[in-house]
Amino acid sequence: PGVRGLAPYEPGKPIEALRREYGVEEVIKLASNENPLGPSPRASEAAAAAVQEGHRYPDGNGFELRHAIAERHGIDPQRVTLGNGSNDVLALVAQTFLGPGRCAVFSAHAFAVYPIVTQAVGAEARVVPALAADHPAQPRGHDLEAMAAATDDTVQVVFVANPNNPTGTWVGAEALRRFLDAVPARTLAVVDEAYFEYAVEEADYPDASRWLDDYPNLIVTRSFSKVHGLGGLRAGYALSHPAVAELMNRVRQPFNCSGPAQAAAAASLADAEHLERSVALNTEQRALLRRGLEELGFVPLPSAGNFLTFDAGARAAELNEGLLRSGVIVRPVDAYDLPGHLRVSVGTPTENRTFLAALSRQLHGGA
Ligand code: PMP
């Protein structure tokens, strides 16, 4: 029954699909929060070398990558669970700890994979209303107090996206600690930090991975798809108490993270310069994109990620269609209970200018 009630996840339109459907040659994809600079050259080289060994199964326990991740966080490798992207890790949490008669809590407008993995295993999803659209600091953000109140002893898992996709909103260290203090000890608190590297620029943005010793029920998830630019290779991970990791590793498919993905992820962790460059570009371009949208009359939600979401109003579908016809792919996020909202990923300066010009043409006409 849970599966029958699910709506499939709608990913960003693939570039090739747009070329075929609309006959446009030049396509700009700002729909999946990808790093416009691509991966670190060191990661690409490592992946290519691993492909030469593609006839061999990868290390099913991900020894090197888990050790590299553990070293990065200053923790024991036994706390690390690898995933085929962090979506895989979220699914592992659900497969391991949820099921019929069990319950997960998350916010309205939260990342779409939480309801999917919850319902897919027959568990109940308890959706907590988000902060108001006119909240002064975090419009449509997670209401952590209401989420804590909803997370009673009957709840096995609570998901917090920090920052959240598609709203871009985030929670600060103090509020998150208060929330974790309020969550029952037997309930697992998943803090999804897929956009962590972009968000560390915000004052008071927490690195929840430092709190693993304080909260044995804490699971922090990270992704290699965003700032590391490895979305196509699929690698992500969870950090948790070793006992929680040990349970998830019983359920995990042994070769869930491919050889090239493991090699590229480890190489990317070692290229701090590429990450810095990527974050700096995002911070600069996100501000320009925001200003450009404001000049066109839109009010993007505050975002600590590599994307901006804005209410495009009654003309949203028409604007999106017009953008597609001009070769620009953005993401309508109606399915997140945000009707009329579009999400645009931060691209290169040229991509962002092209997007703003195309949107302006849709609004005002002209060549
Ligand atoms: N969490 C959030 C909040 C996301 O936006 C995404 C990517 N859309 C993911 C997790 C999963 O990313 P991946 O599976 O590529 O690591």
Same fold, 15-30+273-364 and 54-270: no
115 vs 159: CA distance, rounded Å: 10
| Distance from Cα 257 to the centre of ligand 1, integer Å | 15
Rounded Cα distance, 303 and 345, in Å: 11
- State how far the Cα of 73 lies from the Cα of 290, in Å rounded to an integer: 33
Distance, CA of 2 to CA of 23 (rounded, Å): 39
Mutate to test the pocket of ligand 1, among 86, 90, 345 (most ligand atoms within 8 A of CB): 86
Exposure letters 25-40 (e unless 16+ CB within 10 A, then b): eebbbbbbbbbbeebb
Distance, CA 86 to ligand 1 centroid (Å)? 6
Atom of ligand 1 nearest to the CA of 234: 15
**Two tokens at 10?**
């709608």
Which ipTM score applies to this complex?
0.99
Question: How many whole angstroms separate alpha carbon 113 and alpha carbon 217?
Answer: 21
State the Cα–Cα distance between residues 57 and 74, nearest whole angstrom. Answer: 29
Burial 226-247 (b: 16+ CB within 10 A, else e): bbbbbbebbbbbbbbbbebbeb
CA of residue 194 to ligand 1 center, whole Å: 6
Our measurement of the distance from residue 313's CA atom to the centroid of its chain's CA atoms, rounded to an integer in Å, reads: 25
Q: Which of 127, 174, 185 is nearest to 152 (CA)?
A: 185
> Contact 28/328 with Cβ under 8 angstroms?
yes
- For residue 33, give the ligand 1 atom closest to its CA: 8
Mutate which of 10, 87, 198 for ligand 1 pocket (most atoms within 8 A of beta carbon) = 87
**Identity (one letter) of the amino acid at 270?**
A
Determine which residue's CA is closest to atom 7 belonging to ligand 1: 194
Residue numbers in the chain where pLDDT is lower than 70: 366-367
Six-digit token pair at 68? 């590299």
Extents of the domains making up the chain: 15-30+273-364, 54-270
**Which ligand 1 atom sits closest to the C-alpha of 32?**
8
**Cα of 362 from ligand 1 centre, angstroms:** 30
Residues 314 and 317: their CA atoms lie apart, in Å, by: 8
**Does pTM top 0.80 for this prediction?**
yes
H or E element: which one contains 158? Answer: strand 157-161
What's the gap in Å between 366 CA and the centre of ligand 1?
A: 37
Neighbours of 309 (CB within 10 A): 27
Report the first-to-last Cα separation within the chain, whole angstroms. Answer: 51
CA of 248 to the centre of ligand 1 (A): 19
Query: What is the distance in A from the centroid of ligand 1 to the CA of 32?
Result: 9
By the 8 A CB rule, do 94 and 120 touch?
yes
Tell me the CATH number for domain 54-270: 3.40.640.10
CATH of region 15-30+273-364: 3.90.1150.10
CA distances from 86 to 42, 63, 103, 155, 361 (A): 22, 18, 21, 22, 37
H or E element: which one contains 80? strand 80-83
Q: Are strands 218-223 and 236-239 parallel, antiparallel or unpaired?
A: antiparallel
- The neighbouring-strand residues paired with 212 are none
DSSP 161: E
Indicate the length of the chain as a whole number. Answer: 367
3-state secondary structure 180-242: HHHCCCCCEEEEECCCHHHHCCCCCCCCHHHHCCCCCCEEEEEECCCCCCCCCCCCEEEECCH
pLDDT at 7: 86
Core vs surface per residue 64-97: b (16+ CB within 10 A) or e:
ebbebbbeebebebebbbbbbbbbbbbbbbbebb
Tokens for 226? 């965003």
Give the binding-site residues of ligand 1, using a 6 Å CB cut-off: 33, 85-87, 111, 161, 165, 192, 194, 223, 225, 231, 236
- Distance (Å) of CA 52 to CA 27, 56, 259: 31, 9, 10
pLDDT at 9: 85
Amino acid at the residue 234: R
